[in-house]
Structure 1
Amino acid sequence: MTELPGTYESYWMETGTGPAYPALEGETEVDVAVVGAGVAGICAAWELARAGRRVALVEADRVAAGVTGYTTAKLSAQHGPLYAKLRGSLGAEGARRYARSQQEAVDHVGRVAAELGIDCELERVPAHVYAESADAVDRLREEAEAAREAGLAASFVRETGLPFPVAGAVRVEDQAQFHPRKYLLGLVADLVARGGAVYERTRIVSLHEGEPCRLTAEDGAVVVARDVVVATHYPVFDRALLFSRLEPHRELVVAAVLPAARDPRGMYLTPERNTRSVRTAPYGGDERLLVVTGEKFRPGEGGPGGVGERYERLAAWTLEHFPDARITHRWAAQDNASTDGVPFVGRFHPGSRHVYVATGFGGWGMSNGVMAGRLLGDLITGGESPWASLYDPRRLHAHEVPSLLKAQGAVLKHFAGDRLRPSHADDVAEIAPGTGALVRVGGRRCAVYRDEDGGTHAVSARCTHLGCLVRFNDAERAWECPCHGSRFAVDGSVLQGPAVHPLEPRTLPDEGPSGKEGSV
């Protein structure tokens, strides 16, 4: 793998700093406990605190530092070529409710930022879904008509601000882009000012549903609450079996400094070339920050050339189309899509009375996260929402079945098929520094990483969620589960759920003079 351009860090993480919050200790009692401090969890906690509820926001890592800290941060009701599909599957009224809920979320951010005085670099710009292929023009025209019928200010156009020609595009007016961490950290500060409690470095590992509910952290600390919101990106509790209706995917991001005169002035997306998404952000002086996303893949399925090769393709596309750009940052985003294309927001499962969930945002976490926060606030406080039934996690539509079977087929392929494959390396000695592979040791598959100094770090290759075998991500140096998207550091610690427990450590036999004995 060649040296990749840019610092491996999210620009939002680097430029949006906030205070640290303590870990949970002992037992705390509140009205509502929100598990997960990403965009959905923070927005739900803030809405509930504003409604007068005593709220505890609990995060396994740092506030707004997980999936939310690595987003593209488009704040839009235009979610790619979606509305023609929604009109076909949910009917015209279902598509209208979806569009209205998303556009109101976009507008809500503007109102709240102004109300709280949050400088989050909010810019109102048009959003486009475009195609370079003439074969896609008829579909784009249909999408523009469906989006307009759903209530969005949509039109079909042939000219855009991109520095290359397109065959056509759907343009939707009055969308937005912003700095997600600056906005969300502002909400957290106001949450605390309203009496809310925030706990970081606290991983919740068990939930007892009752009256009240009890949440237990890995160190034994407890939160007692009447109501619980599970906003952990991929639900960390499986009782609703939502893992069977969610498909995880990762996308890569490169950010580059661009002369302001080259700003395409808008947000752009094409599903072509395995997705290419473009937006800009303020950078200072006569420059803008260009943010390009693409190369979608399922975690653990980086492809023959690995994730590093995907980064190279995305960087090459960026510099080909924006030759004045200078790549400064790169990172990766992850999200889950529901099998019917609509998020799950509402009561966790059919028997649930006091536990709620928000997940399945399909790559559009900003508007969906804000929408989810408002919807959950209404549900928990007894308010009415015109789109509660649209997002209800307990729904199951007939048109969802083919996608559900396809998603579960992919999981079964990995769960069973990966066990029939030979190990990725015959011997630990074959693993080069800075890389990882699965090796059979003492009859068991181990996930083994060799660091730059030659030391080996071995953990169980079985994901602690449901037991699928993990795979190594060469660019991010992490173990990933291809079944449900859990991610682990090379020492086995959890980076991303639904897993809540680390990979078990393994001890390797002495490798001899060419290596070191390794254990974690």
Structure 2
Amino acid sequence: MSDPRPLPGLDESFWMDSTETPDHAYLASDTDADTVVIGAGIAGLSTAWELARAGRDVVVLEADRIAAGVTGYTTAKVSALHSLVYDRLRRTRGAEATRLFAASQQDAVERVAAIVGELGIACDLERVSAYSYAAGPQSLPQIEAEARAAAEAGLDASYVPGTELPFPAAGAVRAGGQAQFHPRKYLLALAADLIARGGRIFERSRVTGLTEGTPCRVTVESGRTVTARNVVVATHYPVFDRAMLFARLSPRRELVVAAPVAAGEAPKDMYITEDEGKRSVRSTPLDEGRRLLIVTGESFTPGTGNPAEGFRRLDDWMRERFPVGPTAYRWAAQDNDPSDTVPLIGPFHIGARHTFVATGFGGWGMTGGVVAGRLLSALVTEAPAPPWAELYDPRRLGSAVREAPSLLGAQAEVARHFVGDRLRVGHVDSVAEIPPGTGAVVRVKGRRRAVYREPDGTVRAVSARCTHLGCLVAFNEAETAWECPCHGSRFAVDGTVLQGPALRPLEAMETEGDD
């Protein structure tokens, strides 16, 4: 029986709700640039800013609004301690690769702090420690191994027997010198400085085509083009697949709840555990005497699971452990896990000369996006590349064997949805069965429609086939969206693309004769 309780909090992220959104024009005419960056999240804007700082003419193209996609819904931990990544890297990539990964991620933390100081950005930046903790003794061996691996990799990391959390933890890895901030305040300031340096930003300019060459040409949905020597694809999930990157990424969605707590009761550091369905905890300034506690967890593949129940479980977990007030916000963040743990940053494919990509941050996009900015700006300007360039190179071949189990597992899941979802007769038998405020896939006149019934009874019907590669979408009632379980594309109830890699909306359909 489903839980009758209403979902807690405002259905919006605190970062979005607490900032104004400046307007940027759409691309209304053809233009030229040295480099065009596709995507205006932290990876895209960091890359564009580094290039503009180096004196390059940069155009940024954003499908919606800047810093309003994945980056606007992050938990905004700026940390080199990524849960339990270092022991895994040491076993699969070796000690030197693990050291380079740690160095690059800590460099990103320091780069953010330096930029905040250089530009005087008021973004609530706080230097804190990060902890990966074991909820119970069964996880202690992994925590102890991670502490050793992180310290050997060069982080200021050590094993500690306890934490400041108001509930027991069996032990933890502590990494000093990390940070947390308000990501929108940071990126909006970065965008303003980018424009001051001569960069151009175009919003609501969804890219639909890329022609590689000398020069390259990028086309947006209106038909307008940007001709540029270099192109950077920083759309979180690449909107073009020139190197089988789709097969190396697994989309994952994670829920977030946030509630006010007295400043003295809020944790001052950042915490994460892989136990209890994964839980991540941090806080951020709210108002005088209070902070906002932010709790993340309940991961699921888009288009699967029950996000509404996940929100309730997460909210219950928060309330059992912290003396919080009424839940203020709830939102969800989407991430892409790379098949070999390391993000893909560098040349787009083996033959690429002037096209580059940044993707696969695995839930740690705040540091990953800054690493991308540093690395891609060096590649574009042909400056000396940082020592970790080869580690992140999307063309890396040595990881093929290491990636094989993850690749096979991810593609088996895609195949299960691609074939299995088509064998089902339908998720409901008719449009008449769909209650107000919900959606379902239904067969109408032999074709599957994704049908949503508005609270007032109005019916919206669109094709149930994702416009990316044709998998069937499923309805996410908690977020009122259609989601593709194969590669994570998301659509509004009218079919509009909310999140790629899909470039085209779901086709509007009729339901006459069924309802």
- Whole-angstrom distance in 1 between the partners of 2:287 and 2:6: 28
Other-structure match for 1:183: 186
2:487 is paired with a residue whose SS is coil
Letter matched to residue 220 of structure 1: G
Q: Does 1:334 align with 2:347?
A: no
- The question of whether the paired residues in 1 share the 8 Å contact of 2:430 and 2:514 is answered with no
* Contact 1:258–1:326 under 8 Å retained in 2: no
Is the 2:234–2:357 Cα contact (8 Å) retained in structure 1?
yes
- Equivalence for 2:470: 467
- The equivalent residue for 1:433 is 436
Q: Which amino acid aligns with 2:362?
A: G
Q: What letter corresponds to residue 443 of structure 2 in structure 1?
A: R
Query: What's the secondary structure of 1:273's corresponding residue?
Result: coil
Give the match's secondary structure for 2:495. Answer: coil
In the TM superposition, what are the counterparts of 1:7-406 in structure 2 within 5 Å? 7-302=10-305, 306-383=306-383, 384-396=385-397, 397=399, 398-406=401-409
d(CA) in 1 for partners of 2:18, 2:477: 26
SS at match of 1:253: strand
Q: C-alpha displacement at 1:87, in angstroms?
A: 0.4
What's the offset of the Cα at 1:325?
Answer: 3.5
Post-superposition offset of 1:395 = 1.2
Deviation at 1:45? 0.2
Amino acid paired to 1:69: G
Spell out, residue by residue over 1:285-338, the C-alpha distance to the aligned partner (whole angstroms, 9 max, x if none).
Answer: 111110000000000112xxx211110000000111113333100100001010
Q: Which moved more, 1:396-405 or 1:163-172?
A: 396-405
State the alpha-carbon separation in 1 of the partners of residues 216 and 455 from structure 2. 46
CA deviation digits over 1:418-451, x for unaligned, max 9?
1112210001000000000010011111100000
Query: Contact (CA 8 Å) 2:343, 2:358: kept in 1 or not?
Result: yes
CA contact (8 A) 1:72 1:291 kept: yes
Tell whether the 8 Å contact from 2:444 to 2:514 is kept in structure 1 after alignment.
no
Q: Deviation digits for residues 249-305 of structure 1, max 9, x if unmatched?
A: 000001110001111211000111211000000112111110000000000112xxx
Amino acid at match of 2:431: V
What amino acid sits opposite 2:352 in the alignment?
S
Q: Which runs of 5+ in 1 are unaligned?
A: 513-520
Match of 2:259, SS? strand
CA offset digits 1:95-120 (Å, max 9, x no partner): 00000000000000001110001011
**Amino acid across the alignment from 2:299:** K
Q: TM-score, length-normalised on structure 2? A: 0.98
2:233 and 2:513 map into 1 onto residues whose CA distance is 44
**Structure 1 CA distance for aligned equivalents of residues 472 and 311 of structure 2:** 24
Residue identity opposite 2:193 in structure 1:
D
AA at the equivalent of 1:370 = V
Q: Distance in 1 between matches of 2:276 and 2:140?
A: 16
What per-residue deviation string (whole Å, max 9, x for no partner) do you get for residues 387-441 of structure 1?
Answer: 1100000113111111111111110010011111221000100000000001001
Provide the C-alpha distance between the structure 1 equivalents of 2:192 and 2:163, rounded to a whole number of angstroms: 39
Checking the alignment, whether the CA contact within 8 Å between 1:25 and 1:222 is kept in structure 2 is no
Counterpart amino acid of residue 150 in structure 1 = A
State the AA in 2 paired with 1:15: S
Deviation at 1:139, TM superposition (A): 1.5
Amino acid at match of 2:27: L
- 2:328 counterpart SS class: strand
Q: Distance in 2 between matches of 1:123 and 1:81?
A: 23
Paired residue secondary structure (2:327) = strand
Alignment correspondent of 1:516: none
| Deviation per residue, 1:21-58 (Å, 9 max, x gap) | 00001211000000000000000000000001000011
How far residue 511 of structure 1 moved from its aligned partner, in angstroms, is 5.0
Deviation of 1:132 (Å)? 1.5
Aligned with residue 423 of structure 1, among 422, 426, 432: 426
Note the C-alpha offset of 1:510. Answer: 4.5
- What count of residue pairs does the alignment treat as equivalent? 509
Structure 2: distance between partners of 1:2 and 1:480: 24
Gaps of 5+ in 2: none
RMSD (Å), alpha carbons: 0.8
Q: Is the 8 A contact 1:129 1:270 kept in 2?
A: yes
- Secondary structure of the 1:283 match is strand
Cα deviation, residue 490, structure 1: 0.3
Q: Percent identity?
A: 60
In structure 2, give the amino acid aligned to 1:395.
R
Distance 2:208 2:410 in 1: 26
Distance 2:72 2:477 in 1: 21
Given that 2:440 and 2:475 are in contact with CA atoms closer than 8 Å, whether structure 1 keeps it comes out as yes
1:198 deviation in Å? 0.5
Distance (whole Å) between structure 2 residues aligned to residue 444 and residue 2 of structure 1:
35
Paired letter, 2:240: F
In structure 2, how many angstroms separate the alpha carbons of the residues matched to 1:178 and 1:240? 34
Aligned equivalents of 1:243, 1:348: Cα separation in 2:
12
Counterpart residue type for residue 26 of structure 1: S
CA distance in 1 between counterparts of 2:157 and 2:357 reads 31
Deviation per CA, 1:484-506: give whole Å up to 9, x if none.
Answer: 00000000000000000000111
Give the whole-Å Cα distance in 1 for the aligned partners of 2:239 and 2:499.
10
Q: Secondary structure at the residue paired with 1:103?
A: helix
- 2:368 and 2:195 map into 1 onto residues whose CA distance is 23
> Runs in 1 of length 4+ with deviation above 6 angstroms?
none
In structure 2, how many angstroms separate the alpha carbons of the residues matched to 1:463 and 1:278? 34
